[in-house]
Amino acid sequence: MENVKKTILSGIKPTGNLNIGGYLGAVKNWIKMQDDYNCLYCIADLHSLTIRIDPSVLRKNSIELFALYLACGLDPEKNTIFFQSHVTQHAELAWVLDCYTMFGELSRMTQFKDKSAKNAENINAGLFTYPVLMAADILLYQANLVPVGEDQTQHVEICRDIANRFNGVYGEVFTLPEAYTPKVGARVKSLTNPSAKMSKSDDDDNGTVNLLDPRDVVIRKFRKAVTDSEACVRYAPGKDGINNLMSIYSAVTGKSFEDIEKEFDGKGYGDFKLAVGEAVSDMLAGIQDKYKVYTSDRAQLEAIYRQGADRARYIANKTLTKVYKKVGLIAK
């Protein structure tokens, strides 16, 4: 029997606040995996530099996101939790991998095409090589599984291609990772535009519910959520708004869609929206209490992220040393 735990690596960019989409779709699943896998989670701060972000905002987001990882229940003893920029091997491996990644394949990345179309004034080289840095994040730790949303599966694919190409030349240096999309976990949509994902870079603040939003704000956002005119709480194709609210309510309470339909039989959307808002606020209250505790002790928070970086660096350094040796760089 295989008794070696598989390695998981994932990360979130600190470009905005963590919202319930990121929590229900990602972080909540990470918590469930902490006993069965060897897990590493980074704050992908270097990745957030591809867009112009105010340094003080980046600092605030980064520390906030780190504290939120902990407040959501990621145990820093069971998981390695760290800032990507604290482990310099990420940027170093990314350079080597850049030299094993083709211009053509990066040009085909849909995220690069989307982002450069949206930001025509800032199509920087970092945006172009973004998937290579992400490949370095994954390959440094010999990760087997990479939990990501659908928008990132192409990046995991190119990571495999790069690893394969490198291994083809130098032998089995890298473990080939696989994208891991957990079966459970809601794909939360924007409350104001329920055909699009709830995104931390959404310009419409009413569309996203942030983990640190106070109760009255959460209730208000759900009250204003876009729905249809049928006024019947029922999961059905085309009812994006109600489907989204039902998914959220189900993810938060554990109730099935059938249970929810029964619970709100004969009731209007107003009652349902209020119930979802209250359930989400109750869930957030627990996270926010823990968040306050973690952020009230900055020294402890620093100790936790330094320990995370130390652990990550140890593994990352082994891989990078091997890579440098394989390609023919002189050992230090």
Q: Is 200 a catalytic residue?
A: yes
Handedness of CA 285, 287, 293, 296 (dihedral sign): negative
Contacts of 273 (CB under 8 A, 6+ apart): 222, 223, 225, 227, 245
From edge to edge, which strands make up the β-sheet containing 178-180?
Answer: 79-83, 38-43, 7-12, 145-147, 178-180
**Which of these ranges, 11-19, 49-57, 276-284, 320-328, lies near ligand TRP under the rule CB under 6 A?**
11-19
Report the C-alpha gap between 131 and 113 in whole angstroms: 13
Contact status: 47 vs ligand TRP (CB under 6 A): yes
Q: What are 260's two structure tokens?
A: 């929810």
* Residue 157: how many other CB atoms lie within 10 Å: 16
Q: Is 118 a catalytic residue?
A: no
Contact status: 202 vs ligand TRP (CB under 6 A): no
Least Å distance, CB 139 to ligand TRP, is 10
Q: What are 292's two structure tokens?
A: 């306050």
Please give the full DSSP string across 187-246, using - where no structure is assigned. Answer: --B-SSSTTSB--TT-S-GGG--BTT--HHHHHHHHHT----SS------TT-HHHHHHH
Q: Is 113 a catalytic residue?
A: no
Considering CB under 6 A, how many residues would be counted as binding ligand TRP?
A: 13
Residues 132-151 that bind ligand TRP (CB under 6 A): 134, 137-138, 146, 148
Binding mask 59-88 for ligand TRP (x = CB under 6 A): ------------------------------
Catalytic one of 115, 255, 318, 326: 115
Binding mask 100-139 for ligand TRP (x = CB under 6 A): ----------------------------------x--xx-
Residue (8 or 70) nearer to ligand TRP, CB: 8
Catalytic one of 13, 28, 189, 200: 200
Q: What are 151's two structure tokens?
A: 């928008």
Catalytic residues: 115, 197, 200
Binding site for ligand TRP (CB under 6 A): 9-13, 44, 47, 134, 137-138, 146, 148, 152
